[in-house]
Structure 1
Amino acid sequence: MRVLYWIIAIPLMILIIVFAVANRQASTLSLWPLPFEMDLPLFVPVLGALLLGLLIGLLFEWLLTGKHRRANRKMASELARIRRAQEAAREEERAAIASQKSPGLPPAVNAQSTADKTNMAPVQPAGV
């Protein structure tokens, strides 16, 4: 994304500089209801008008997307609330599991007692 920015920005800056150098001749700027006139290089009012248009467009875009930014903030706070509730529920579940008594292990059974109950000879380990 950074590379794309520079691919667009560098030629645009060069174009603006070339335009400014090529249009240095003086032009008279007068705003009709006001009584004064200004002699400026031609590129100043042209680039000023472009900049003013850009700023007005940014302002309108910012105003129009206000409802979306507000909705995003509301959803982000709701998501944070839900995550806090989820974490609290997990902690309660962990605490409940930890507080329960473990069922314990079944009683140990050795080979002799198993053989007595089943009327089978006990199994001897190999090599004994």
Structure 2
Amino acid sequence: MKLISWIFLIFLGIFVITLSIGNRESVSFSLFPLPFVMDVPLFMLILAGGFLGVLLGAFRTWISDGKLRRENRQLKQEVGKLKGDLSRLAAEKTPESDKTTQQALASPDK
């Protein structure tokens, strides 16, 4: 799996380098209602748009997984409580109760 991710990163790097070399011309970037105009290389706009898309997608995924994270947190608390109960019951267990349990298991009722 690690090899596949390295191969993917190499191809992504080659793509970004090719994009940067091929689109070095400046374009005018403006936000229409605002009096803001800026000349930037085209590849910077493309990469900034891709980066913004990744950030928005990660934020959306984080929001949608909130219910699962909450449920996971509650289940971990419940497991911790049950482990505590189990250790408490194991500490309360006496050798006499073990002997009684073993005798009950050894002689089945007829």
Shared fold (TM-score, shorter chain, > 0.5): yes
- 1:63 deviates by 0.5
Q: Match of 1:91? A: 91
Q: Which residue of 2 aligns with 1:35?
A: 35
Aligned length: 99
Match of 1:73 in 2: 73
Identity %: 36
Task: Name structure 2 gaps, 5 residues minimum.
Answer: 100-110
Aligned residue in 2 for 1:60: 60
Structure 1 or 2: more helix by fraction:
2
Larger radius of gyration: 1
Q: TM-score, normalization: structure 2?
A: 0.80
Please tell me the root mean square deviation across aligned C-alpha atoms, in Å: 2.0
Return the TM-score normalized by structure 1.
0.70
Q: Give the secondary structure class of the aligned counterpart of 1:53.
A: helix
Select the structure with the greater relative contact order (CA < 8 A; seq sep ≥ 6). Answer: 2
1:100, 1:68 → 2: CA distance? 42
Aligned equivalents of 1:54, 1:16: Cα separation in 2: 15
Aligned to 1:20: 20
Q: Quick one: which amino acid aligns to residue 87 of structure 2?
A: E
1:5: how far off?
2.0
Distance in 1 (CA, whole Å) between partners of 2:28 and 2:55 is: 24
- The aligned counterpart of 1:116 is none
